[in-house]
Structure 1
């Protein structure tokens, strides 16, 4: 049977479940898909079948046993591969020490993704965002095209952010540090012998703490900007127990990607407001154009005013002040 849509995929899944000796306990519609709860040999598992823009997506969930093994044979047949070969969308077994953070449909329970925007930009502060993603929300976010915000045109960020807020309603937090507040925090931490990683850790933990007040979850994923101890130590002091996974390019995870879009949207909004307030278009990054705009701004407003629009610890500050003495 050629699988061309969700109805065909669901029919094929139901037939293969029966062929593999599985008792279908329940099947129901889920966002953009169909879910099958099955039993075999005293064990249960479930199969989520999605069919969207990227084609067929199958997710096997369960702690192991005969039911899960049989479902893996079902997915192998549906994907046209031999039984026992690796499937990219199967959820990791509970015996695994850590789930794979870059697999979109990897989790059976809600989890948190956090990310920040503005870290590498001279103008503007720092925005850190976090999102609790329920498994049921994953296909909605995927259908929206949620991805690392750096891969998305700024013009699309605002509308995508609005949709993410609807999908994850009440389960997101955004911490915006305007430049003056950012500079105050950085200077204070530097005086305590700390560095930028400490500030980033503080921001991520603050967002995590706020989200855990909304709903307790067991897992959080963030980009690897520092040793995990920076965040774990703070969480322990706060009495929070949560498994934190930090990996390079964490935005591959859909929760982290959603957080990156929310953070980017807030950062872009600051730029829009700053343009209205100061009559200046502050460029992003830390390049020659940034230096030139910084010099012009200082000439018109004075050196002290720069701390209200830029991160003063950047080497760019020295270049801006070079011809303004």
Structure 2
């Protein structure tokens, strides 16, 4: 999802947020949104807020409005990519920082020049540390580097970060629906606390389609896989 054909004038503001960070199934989606600073009040007036506070229908409605006024840069990080990086010892915070940096690199230089601040929702308990992580991944002469500002609850405080949150969530929901159809199993939200997700994993543990989308490095997934292998071994021994 992109809207970079829009012409943005005057001082700009940007926000970054994610969706699907803690899920055991499906991708992590990140979005950087950019709009004219004067449009932030308008975004708030139409109901733009943290995506978690909105119904799926309202998120979709607002996403359609957001792309009329904002440039959006979306990064989809598949489960297999997350697994590969985590096996190498890369933390989830680092993975998020890598892809926020990648999204920032997509912003055209003439747009970067006009951005006042980039408000990032920080997943790290140390928000300043998260800013430094992202800066370390940008070119030393990057003009956007000094404009980064990470904070907790940025998706609640700043309308532009709320907009990024909505785009990330709507994009992830679209990806999740595609995966459900491919897998032939409704796994709900895909989060470890969702019984539908756990049951779907258990029922499809040997299904190669599931393996494509399962975050196998998650403790929940490891536990289910271990239990499945134990049951298989027991059946063989009983036989």
- Bucket of the pairwise TM-score, normalised by the shorter protein: 0.7 to 0.9
Distance change >3 Å, CA 294–CA 145, structure 1 → 2? same
Quick one: distance in 2 between partners of 1:194 and 1:182? 9
Q: Does 1:224 align with 2:92?
A: no
Write 1 or 2 for the structure with the bigger share of strand.
Answer: 1
Alignment match, 2:177: 272
Alignment match, 2:3: none
Structure 1 residue 305: deviation in Å? 4.2
After the TM superposition, which residues 125-204 of structure 1 pair with which residues of structure 2 at under 5 Å, given as runs?
125-168=27-70, 171-184=71-84, 186-187=85-86, 190-191=87-88, 193-204=89-100
Matched residue SS, 1:222: strand
After the TM superposition, which residues 84-123 of structure 1 pair with which residues of structure 2 at under 5 Å, given as runs?
109-123=11-25
Normalising by structure 1, we get a TM-score of 0.60
**CA deviations over 1:205-253 (Å, ceiling 9, x no partner):** 1111112446112421111223121011122446334321111101120
Tell me if structure 2 keeps the 8 A contact 1:179–1:308: yes
Tell me if structure 2 keeps the 8 A contact 1:129–1:173: yes
Structure 1 residue 109: deviation in Å? 2.5
Provide runs of 4+ in structure 1 moved above 6 Å: none
After the TM superposition, which residues 250-265 of structure 1 pair with which residues of structure 2 at under 5 Å, given as runs?
250-251=154-155, 252-265=157-170
Greater Cα shift, 261-270 or 231-240: 231-240
* Higher-Rg member (1/2): 1
Quick one: distance in 1 between partners of 2:57 and 2:14? 26
Q: Does 1:287 align with 2:187?
A: no
Structure 2: runs of 5 or more not aligned:
1-9, 230-239
Q: Which has the higher contact order (CA 8 A, sep 6+)?
A: 2
Tell me if structure 1 keeps the 8 A contact 2:182–2:209: no
Normalising by structure 2, we get a TM-score of 0.80
Structure 1: runs of 5 or more not aligned:
1-107
Alignment match, 1:296: 203
